[in-house]
Chains A and B, each alone.
Chain A
Amino acid sequence: MNVYFRVITVFFLTAILSMAGSTLMADDYPSKGVNYVIPFGPGGESDITARHQQPFFKKLFGQDLIISYKPGGGGAVGWSQLNKMKGDGYNIMGINLPHIIVKPQEKAVGFTTEDIAGVYMFHYTPDAIVVTNDSEFETLDDLIAYAKENPGKITFSGSGKGTANHLAQLRFDKMAGIKTTYVAFKGTGAAVTALLGKQVVAEWGYTSVGAKQAEKARMLAVAMDERHPEFPDIPTFKELGFDLVSGAFRGIAVPTSTPEDIRMKLSDMIGQINADPEFRKRMEADGMALLDVDYKGYQAFIDEQAKVMLEAAREANVIK
């Protein structure tokens, strides 16, 4: 009898607690470590920026941000499994543009852009044209002039196909009325190696390449609205007359089963990390540009980017 009574009590207590748990979830959140899945391998830029967030998450919210990796298929392996994870706010995943917009349009990759419940886009790595220090091209105009005289002869290394680098090359060629050759490499590291080894004339890279390779390479222009605080001397494409603001955008998504209030809370939290002056300083020193697209603004942002990116990809036959 006694035992029976105890079992019943425990059962009810558990039931009550779990109910209370679900209503209190957003208030308590996060009450334990949050699992942060990066759909790329360790050591890449997605990993490094997540690593930058890690200590600030702990500092501001007292819980650990536990980073793990699910690489493969240029992120597709991770994203196709995102919605199978438990939607309790303790499973979040890094997302990247243009990947989540362009990839599902290329082939069936196991997810669609709409499947991904993004809550925040927290930074982007702006595209930039990078040349070696001893390059004959001093300005963007030099490069355009050469390309006009020698169509197709300028070779750009870049990371992957249908990626930010590739789309920037396609869009810029059209804007400047030139024809250049894009050579896809496996990741930014390989693309930089090809540039420094003079296998190619220039690289469609990122401002982060300019920051890391400051001793050997320089940028001709950066695809930002305003000049990057780390590189006050490098002009933007806009200043030079080309309306190109682009790059690899990174954000955080949750499984679609995640409750609305948790999504809001998470969006606020990532915004708070972004607002931390020390975090901003570290990110900018690496050549990143911070971005604040929160949960409410996410859809409009994706729609706007999708229009531009898909048009460029379609014209280049990357997608049909």
Chain B
Amino acid sequence: MPGIEFLLAALTPLNIVLALGGVIAGTVIGSLPGLTATMAVAVLVPITFSMEPTSALIMMGAIYTGAIYGGAYSAILLNTPGTPSAIATTFDGFPLARKGQGDLAISIACIASVTGGLVGATFLLLLAPPLAEIALAFGPVEYFWLAIFGLTLISALSEGNLLKGLIGACFGLLLACVGIAEISADVRFIFGSQVLLGGIETVTALIGLYCIPVLIDLVATPDRHLKVDHKPRGFRFLEALALSWKAKFSLIRSSVIGTLVGILPGAGGSIAGLVAYTEARRTSKNSHNFGKGEPEGVMATESANNATVGGGFIPTLVLGIPGTPPDAVILGALLIQGIRTGPSLFTEKASIVFTFIYGLYLATFLMLPVGLVIGRYAYQTIITVPKAMLVPTVAFMTMIGTYAIRNSISDVIIMIILGVVGWILNRFGFSPSPIVLGLILGRIAEQGFVQAWTIGSATGELWKMFFGRPISLAIIAFILLSLFYPLLRSRFGRAKTEVAHGE
């Protein structure tokens, strides 16, 4: 392993304390809807000024890692992704919790997150400079096709309900247009209102569309929030470990997907989680159980989104281009510390880089005990707190969280309106995920399309721009596969059942 001598440098008592503190703080912040990893890191930047650069980096990396994992709690227990990265965790996490398996789901998420984190950090350690080239190979047109690919996953996710999934996605695409357009600076769909000028923040939509309907249902129905028919029974760690071991290939594959998507500065954890989820579902023996509380589904997203941490650091450290929004904050903090990122960082400032990477390993390992303990506490709290307390507390947290996104009351209003709309749509069988995907991917697709079109027409190679680049062609192939997959599977699936019946 390169720079093994720096492993010891990372393991000073101070660094261990900082990493532990960082993971705890990150997990707690990440579990609160609205408080994102970016914010968690940004708030702590001033504290790091007085630290040694390596200690500061280790702490920020630990907070980031913890926050991405923490997002799983609210996804599993409240059906609300704490961060956009945890969207796909709700698909199976919440059904598991509904069945009274919330504790198991949290332990599985913890093991998966640690695995993903370790895989991501290993790629960062061993292959950062060559992998950073991937970030550069992705131009506007590749992002456009990637976003289209993400949108086609809706068809895979909403099997049997394709039309409603597509309508939801279109609604999301419309929401993505609201406000001042990022690229063209056009003002769209604000209906003369200043409130909508800044557009609809993804996290605002997440909280509104996922959490508010859950709260309304809690109030409207006499049932308990989560089914509990047992005494507390520990972490269920061994059980979770056994399940993870059975799905070890899927776990590693999801982690690799997460790392690769994390390297792309324009993509992010939400896409990583989705791609990993659909891929896991496609290949799993239990694919029929996905969406109904399948542990493998939770594993796929949680390993993928924690792998984006290591993946995102690859372009950040090698190219000085932040791979994810929290990376941008960390990059800024590095600049202020007087550290220049770039290819030579790995040779000239090797001590800082490798101590940091080993620090990331340290934080990831610490996440196992921390995650299990905090997770158990969160689960116990959610199942024991009476509904009369739970609903107002969570409602309060959603408001604070939404407000904190950009210190704006307008976002809270947008969140509540979206929440009511989401609840009504839920009644008619529309799920929130296609809407949120439309919102996230619509922006990426639009930017990529406009940029690719501009460059293509300037160089007179418009056709070649969209259909003549190898990576684009590969993504287009995936798009076709994912579009026709449900069709193919139902045909082959039927063939298989017939065979089964024939036996």
Contacts and interface: CB of A to CB of B under 8 A. Distances in A.
Interface string B419-453: 00000000000000000000000000001001100
B180 A73 contact: yes
Interface string B176-207: 00011011110100001010011101000000
B42 A69 contact: yes
B332 A69 contact: no
A80 B343 CA distance: 41
B197 A183 contact: no
A106 B185 contact: yes
Contacts of B182: 160, 186
B140 A199 contact: yes
A162 B341 CA distance: 29
A42 B198 contact: no
B38 interface: yes
B406 interface: yes
B342 A68 contact: no
A312 to B, nearest CB: 15
A172 B339 CA distance: 33
Interface string A49-62: 00110110000000
B130 to A, nearest CB: 15
A284 interface: no
Contact of B455 (A42, A69, A181, A285): A181
Given A43-B329, A48-B336, A110-B197, A72 B137 contact: no
B342 A214 contact: yes
B197 A70 contact: no
B46 A42 contact: no
A282 interface: yes
Given A54-B46, A155-B455, A196-B319, A69 B406 contact: yes
B51 interface: no
B458 interface: yes
Contacts of B338: 282, 285
B483 interface: no
Range for the number of chain A residues in contact with chain B = 35 or more
A185 B451 contact: yes
Contact of A73 (B46, B197, B451, B459): B197
A214 B341 CA distance: 10
A200 interface: yes
B139 A197 contact: yes
B45 interface: yes
Contacts of B322: 43, 189
A194 B343 CA distance: 17
Interface string B320-334: 111001011111110
Interface string A189-202: 11011101111100
A299 interface: no
Contact of A77 (B197, B320, B327): B197
B349 interface: no
A15 interface: no
Interface string B28-39: 000000000011
B185 A162 contact: yes
Given A51-B45, A189-B265, A215 B342 contact: yes
A41 interface: yes
Contacts of A81: 408
Contact of A51 (B198, B315, B332, B407): B332
Contact of B408 (A42, A70, A183, A196): A70
A212 B319 CA distance: 9
Closest 8 pairs (CB-CB, A-B): A72-B198, A43-B328, A197-B136, A181-B458, A199-B139, A77-B198, A42-B42, A161-B185
24 contacts: A47-B329, A47-B332, A51-B332, A51-B336, A69-B406, A72-B197, A72-B201, A73-B180, A73-B199, A108-B187, A109-B187, A110-B194, A160-B182, A184-B451, A185-B451, A189-B322, A190-B266, A194-B139, A196-B319, A212-B335, A213-B320, A215-B342, A215-B343, A318-B185
Interface of A: 37, 41-44, 47-48, 51-52, 54-55, 67-74, 76-77, 80-81, 106-110, 152-153, 155, 160-162, 181, 183-186, 189-190, 192-194, 196-200, 211-216, 282, 285-286, 318
Given A77-B198, A193-B321, A199-B455, 18 more contacts: A42-B42, A42-B328, A43-B38, A43-B332, A48-B336, A70-B408, A72-B201, A74-B180, A108-B187, A183-B454, A184-B183, A184-B450, A190-B265, A190-B266, A192-B320, A200-B455, A214-B342, A215-B343
